[in-house]
Amino acid sequence: MNLWFIALWVTLVKAWVVNEGTTCTLYPESLSHRGQAVDDSPSIQQAFDMCGTNGTVIFSKNLFHVNTVLNTTNLLNCDVHLHGELRFSTNIPYWRTHTISVVLQDQVTAWLFGGTNVNFYGEGGFYNGQGQEWYNANRNQSNQPGRPMSITFYNSTNLFFWATFVWDSKNVTFTNLFVNATSNSKWGTMNTDGFDSWKSDSILVETATIIMGDDCIAAKGNTTNFHVKNVYCEGGTGITIGSIGQYPETPDYNLNTTFENVHVKNAMDGAYIKTWQGTRI
């Protein structure tokens, strides 16, 4: 009887959050649902709620299904280790109507992530936004309203990570970054930036390979002290400062941006500055 109880307990925790002190280890729901793509977002949210302050969140070496929106902000002194794959669902109608606004250019995100003194380590992990489904649905048209960025880093200080859009943050470092936003069908990619910053200060992007269909790296408005070094860009338009000046009611500037040792291949422009003038379109 006791052995049966222990075996049952092990089965249950494999599909949930194992909490040991200030460490939360995540296992996917699919392990107890015969491989079905059950949403792991509630478990992920629970892990960050429990261990997001002075703690550690570990994604085990498994496949995690992200089927609903995540908001894990206000983290403090938190380390995140991704050993498995985070795979976002292909439920396009859901994502187009259930996202979080990031304000800039009416963009939205599927996961809002942020805090102070946060480290996010890849460690063999894989972040899969399932872009191909969106490219096929878009059929070479302009960006679909409501199409989200898979993750956005917001209101963060001393953040160390390895992939995408940084907003209203300070002291952010991305190292050993690999981004692939390309299509393997007849439909191309639209508005697939590799890395963007906005209203942020003291950002370092170092040692990165970015293959995409738009800006490789864009230092958008009110970005200061931005250093990009040892980066390979392929496709899209290249590296850019901007766009700047889109919102007349908001002062827009870009100070102390440095691109160092950047190689650009098969891009439309290579390097350029984007500005707005006159009436907003």
Annotated catalytic residues are 214
Per-residue tokens: 98:
């259930």
Which letter does DSSP use for residue 144 in this model?
P
Per-residue tokens: 44:
């992920």
Calpha distance 112→153 (Å, rounded): 6
Task: Please name the amino acid found at residue 195.
Answer: F
The burial class, CB within 10 Å (0-12 / 13-18 / 19+), for 32 is middle
Measure Cα distances from 39 to 15, 66, 130, 225 in Å.
11, 6, 15, 39
Let me know: does 164 contact 123? Beta carbons within 8 Å: no
Helix, strand or coil, per DSSP, at residue 184:
coil
Calpha distance 70→40 (Å, rounded): 10
Let me know: does 18 contact 27? Beta carbons within 8 Å: yes
Say if strands 108-109 and 100-101 run parallel, antiparallel, or are unpaired: antiparallel
**In sequence order, what are the beta bridge partners of 136?**
none
